[in-house]
Amino acid sequence: MPELSRAYNIEDLRCLAQRSLPRSVFDFFDGGAEDEATLRANREAFQRVRLMPKVLVDVANVDTKLELFGRVANYPVAISPVGAAGFGRPDADIAIARAAAKFGIPFTLSTAANASIERVAREAGGRLWFQLYPLKDHDFAAKLVERARQAEYEALLVTVDLPVGGKRERDFRNQFTLPFRYTGRNVLDFASRPAWALRLLRHGVPRMENLEGFVPQSEDTATIALWVGKNLDASFDWNRLKALRDTWPRKLLVKGVVRADDAERIAQLGCDGVVVSNHGGRQLDGAIATLDALPAIARAVGSKLTVLIDSGVRRGGDALKACALGAQAVMIGRATLYGASAAGESGALRALEILADELERSMRLCGTRAIAEIGPHLLAGN
């Protein structure tokens, strides 16, 4: 795809995805809840942070590697779980996972992915984490966890900020609903992107492979998605999290935390990591930006847990800022999703190339030779 060579930042990839996808699909990926105030605040928080670079440091060579959960990652980056990525491009989950493996960073597979736990392990490899949505059907959720264990996923990431789905008004306006209904508006929308429509016809509507069997005698994606929405477990609490910690034998991360007191309690349960996240602004509008929430959480549990952050990361320099504020790494979702939607695996790779280049460049310009040297001394006002 010639346009990829002219994609110089993640916003360029976002624009390529926007041109490639029907409006309803793009808005489903790109949008946030209600007024999208939190969606905007996530970016604004990163943009407010000002750096105080050191000079006269030999930065001919910089080392972006770090230890993340006992293994070396090539960058302080991991891929966040993204549901329904296959609606952007067939096998987008596999494409993003392969790109992550090539870059030596972890990939997190969503419960609502269009590729199964087993297929991603078989076809992509690399460092794999599995994200679990708490479901009312405890037996089915336990089967998902066991499948991840059998497939040698190194970590389980449980999302705790989704007792109910957010009110995403772009989807309402685009008549993008589940169960899916064809309307004159969305048929015209799909027809406006013939290459996307032809791929859909050729490959069929993406299946939610991990959730087949969740609805008895149904493999229909729309029906499964509707049932998942109705069967999110709003009763999931500290006792259930403790039970999960007691049964999962590997690394356990908790995603969707913005309060230091919650993070402290997660540490007390013996979890291994916490992801400071507001679900990319897709859940509670008006929630605190994750970068604003990060310092208090890092102070409270940084010596006890591995602290990661997602929501709003669009630049390699954002990873440097997050590390300076106490995170060990950032997680990205939309960045590689935009790339994969535009151009498959090569687009996801391009997203990671951009972020890696920006991170290395920012480290050099800040007089920082290794991830371990990044700290609050690089921030204005500290």
Rounded CA-CA distance 182/184 in Å is: 7
3-state secondary structure of 284: coil
Position 187 scores a pLDDT of 79
Rounded CA-CA distance 122/94 in Å is: 10
Position 365 scores a pLDDT of 98
Ranges 66-80, 146-160, 209-223: which has the least confidence: 209-223
> Residue for token digits 């930065």?
59
Computed over every residue of the chain, the mean pLDDT equals: 93
Position 184 scores a pLDDT of 72
Rounded CA-CA distance 144/332 in Å is: 23
pLDDT in tens, 44-91: 999 999 999 999 999 999 999 999 999 999 999 999 999 999 999 999
279 is catalytic: yes
Tokens representing 38 are 């939190």
Residue 144 has pLDDT above 90, yes or no: yes
Rounded CA-CA distance 317/358 in Å is: 6
Q: Is 132 left (phi over 0), alpha (psi -120 to 50) or beta?
A: beta
Residue 34 has pLDDT above 80, yes or no: yes
> Given this structure, which CATH class describes domain 2-378?
alpha beta
Rounded CA-CA distance 6/4 in Å is: 5
Residue 217 has pLDDT above 60, yes or no: no
Helix axes 138-150, 238-247, angle to 10 degrees: 30
pLDDT in tens, 275-288: 999 999 999 999 99
pLDDT in tens, 270-316: 999 999 999 999 999 999 999 999 999 999 999 999 999 999 999 99
Position 338 scores a pLDDT of 98
Give the confidence band of 319 by pLDDT, cuts at 50, 70, 90. Answer: very high
The catalytic position among 138, 203, 279, 377 is 279
Position 150 scores a pLDDT of 98
Length of the chain: 382
Among residues of the chain, what percentage have pLDDT more than 70? 94
Written as one letter, the residue type at 82 is V
Domain boundaries, the chain: 2-378
